Amino acid sequence: MSPLVAVLAPFAAAALAPWLQRRLRGATAWLLAMVPAALCVWSVTMARQVQADGAVTWSRPWVPTLDLTLSFHLDGLSLLFGVLITGIGAVILVYAGGYLADHPLLGRFYAFILLFMGSMLGVVLAGDVLTLFVFWELTGICSYLLIGFEHEREAARRAALQALLVTGGGGLALLAGLLLLGQIAGTYDLPTMFERGAAIRDHHDYGLVLVLVLAGAFTKSAQWPFHFWLPGAMEAPTPVSGYLHSATMVKAGVYLLARLAPALGGTVAWHYAITLAGATTMLAGALLAFPQTDLKRLLAYSTVSALGTLTLLIGLDTTASVHAAMVFLVVHSLYKGGLFLVTGAVDHAAGTRNVDELAGLRRTMPWTTVAAVLAALAMAGLPPVLGFIGKELLYEAKLQAPSAAPLVTSAGMLANAIMVALAATVIGRPFFGRAAAVPAAAHEAPAALWIGPLLLGVLGLACGLFPEMVGTWLIDPAVRAVRAEPTEVKLALWHGINPVLGLSAATVLAGLVLYAVRTPLCAGAARARGLTAWGPAAAYECALSGLQHVARWQTGLLQNGYLRGYLLMVLATVGGLTGYALLTGPALPVPESWGTVRPYEVLIAGLMVGAAMLIARTESRMTAVIGLGVVGYGMALVFMLHGGPDLAMTQFAVETLSVVLFVLVVYRLPKFTELSRRATRVRDALAALTVAAVLCVLVVSALSFHHNSVLAPYFAAESWMQAHGRNVVNVILVDFRAIDTLGEITVLALGAIGVFGLLTLRPTDRSE
């Protein structure tokens, strides 16, 4: 199976999902889960080939004229992400079948989640930056549909819009950055771009590219100050939250940083920008998560902290930090997916997610309790799960940081201690506290709701007991892909007694202390919640409100309902910009000779100018109509005198018809009433004179150009030979540009139909 088939398979399944749900009902989730499960197995089987060859590529011409290809690239990094996306995706589909069993739109949900899965696979398997960006934006659209799935709730709609606007804004910056990066590298192909990394980093536009790319990555992965959209996304159904936080959209930004590290990494700007953002997000997410009592909100903020940790590790830009990042990526995906699914099962069975209202669930929900304990052990970094190995690697990487190692390690220790306290909060009172009454009679959730989190917990335990397997097959190829150099990864549960083990023990002890004093600390944090009114979330609301105010003002200005206002805007813009170009640009040529001006030409011009002035000054509509006719007939005479009889006849016909229609329409209307102020009339006059002067200059300058036309001899020779017509203008309109003419006729016909429909409308008597 090629990478293209792997990407398209979820999209094909999404198209069939609603139809399958209508016919298979409860079996649909298990059937659809076979698609990502098969893709996960395929990804694992590709590991040996990736280890041997380094990468598997597939490409086909996309837009040959622009030298663009549709390419997919499977290396160690995309293999690791692909296994997580498809493996956890299969678990999420089975879980959703039980969690949303009675939902009337379950088929639509399956379609959305599979589209999300396919989009993420497209991101991690893309072989060029343009393909990557297409799927990148698809993930944003799919997340919008999933977060706002329960669209009847205003909170869900607001959260979906917030996620779309924040990540979409970053996506626009990313598009500019990727296009500029492709221009600098001379290619959009990722492997070729990596080979030219030194030239990219030495380019004078490297700083701009870095800022634009980081804007896209930071918004997608909820880095501070863009972190606020991710906790808001908890308004989505629990299966969406579990998938979003563990293996999909929020990890896309981390993937992008790791993917582009060979091209953009290795500089001081890269190191400090990413490290600072990651450290800030790591601490902010942990501190915001600590006082939360809603399990989903607590887990959401802890995800922000984990994403900050991953970003920090990539910013450190060492082999040890990348090694730690890849292991922690697996650890976080397994335990966070499991904890979100456990939260959904608890909410489903007990009727609440509030940790202060839950207790003693271990007796009534034994399987869910086992899954929760295994996930919490990984979150706290306790042996023998893979989370313990990941935490030790985190400390090892931070101790080897190129700069400010003590500060980075201390910040990491504080964040990890809070994670230990949060893990204790998740399982302490809800599962092992003294039994208490809960809003609903607690009971074990259906098997579909505890099998998934239990499987993820067991996988975390198995990877901790047998780390060599995951290290050899997944972590080692991923590290080699990010570092773009041969590396050797060795994972072990026990490294002996060393400073890293001491830091791990101190972290656990500090976390338990924080858990013990959590109640008074949370009470103090509650008094400081007013500070959030000045945070990034409040800034987003102010920006959104300001945007709406500006939109209303701009609409009132430009769409004011007055034709003269529209004309003034158009003419002022065209005349102003053109006039500015004429004044600041090179001098325009002037005709060497004005030729002979005949008396009757002066007379015709004088009549036209006089008629135009009469139109502007008259108070009679009929007089204005006559003045318009004089201007039109004068132009027809000019056409006739200068060798354009066909144009003259057309102009005569149009002007005659226009005058007749105007007379029929306006003869019953009253005289003009002077409603505008003098200042307004002066403004309009200046705008009209400016546009007229600019057009006059352009026409005069155009007459001074003498160049040999290529089109004129061609049309003169071919009009008779191909179209059998001697009137070149008519032949061009009817034959050479027939499609254009047909389009114009179609527009006029549609306009006429619309006008006819409006004229035939009759007011209805609503009293009947």
| CA-based nearest residue to 120, from 263, 9, 235 | 9
Whether the predicted pLDDT of 721 surpasses 50: yes
Closest by alpha carbon to 378, among 304, 460, 299, 314? 460
Q: Hey, what are 430's tokens?
A: 């809800």
Read off the pLDDT of residues 194-251 as tens digits, 9 standing for 90 and up.
889 889 999 999 999 999 999 999 999 989 888 888 888 888 899 999 998 888 788 8
More confident residue, 644 or 36: 36
The tokens of 750 are what? 């549609």
- Which of 586, 567, 579 has the alpha carbon at shortest distance from 691? 579
Average of per-residue pLDDT across 380-403: 89
Report the mean per-residue pLDDT for the chain.
86
Q: Where are the domains of the chain?
A: 150-533, 590-673, 709-768
Question: Residue 587 has what pLDDT?
Answer: 73
C-beta separation of 397 from 324 below 8 A: yes
Q: State the pLDDT at residue 348.
A: 83
What's the pLDDT score for residue 341?
93
Q: Taking residues 424-435, what's their average pLDDT?
A: 84
Which helix (DSSP H) or strand (DSSP E) does residue 630 occupy?
helix 621-641
CA angle 546, 551, 552 (to 5 degrees): 100
Averaged pLDDT for residues 313-330: 91
Answer yes or no: is pLDDT of 697 > 60. yes
Per-residue pLDDT at 358 exceeds 50: yes
Position 181 confidence tier, pLDDT thresholds 50, 70, 90: very high
In the block, residue with structure tokens 């990557």? 132
| pLDDT score of 768 more than 50 | no
Over residues 468-518, the pLDDT tens digits come to 888 888 888 899 888 877 777 778 887 778 888 889 899 999 999 999 888
Asked if 378 contacts 302 with a C-beta cutoff of 8 angstroms, the reply is: no
Q: Which two tokens stand for residue 747?
A: 């527009």
Residue 371 predicted with pLDDT over 50? yes
Q: Which residues of 548-568 are buried (b: 16+ CB within 10 A; e: fewer)?
A: eeeeeeeeeeeeeeeeeeeeb
The answer, yes or no, to whether residue 118 has pLDDT greater than 90, is yes
Burial group, residue 184, by CB count within 10 angstroms (0-12, 13-18, 19+): buried
Q: State the virtual CA torsion across 442, 447, 451, 452 in degrees, nearest 10.
A: -80
Rounded average pLDDT over 743-758 = 88
What pLDDT score does 539 carry? 85
Q: Say if residues 323 and 405 touch (Cβ distance below 8 Å).
A: no
pLDDT band at 666 (very low <50, low <70, confident <90, very high): confident
- Higher pLDDT, residue 103 or 66: 103
| Cα 395 from Cα 414, distance rounded (Å) | 12
Distance of alpha carbon 298 from alpha carbon 289, whole angstroms: 5
Q: What is the distance between the alpha carbons of residues 92 and 327, in angstroms, rounded to a whole number?
A: 22
Residue-wise pLDDT tens digits, 31-83: 999 999 999 999 988 888 888 888 888 888 877 776 778 889 898 899 999 99
> pLDDT grade, residue 441 (50/70/90)?
low
Q: Let me know: does 226 contact 218? Beta carbons within 8 Å.
A: yes
The top-scoring range by mean pLDDT among 246-255, 336-345, 650-659 is 336-345
How high is the pLDDT of residue 640? 86
pTM above threshold 0.85: no
Dihedral of alpha carbons 269, 275, 278, 280, sign? negative
Mean pLDDT of the 408-418 span: 92
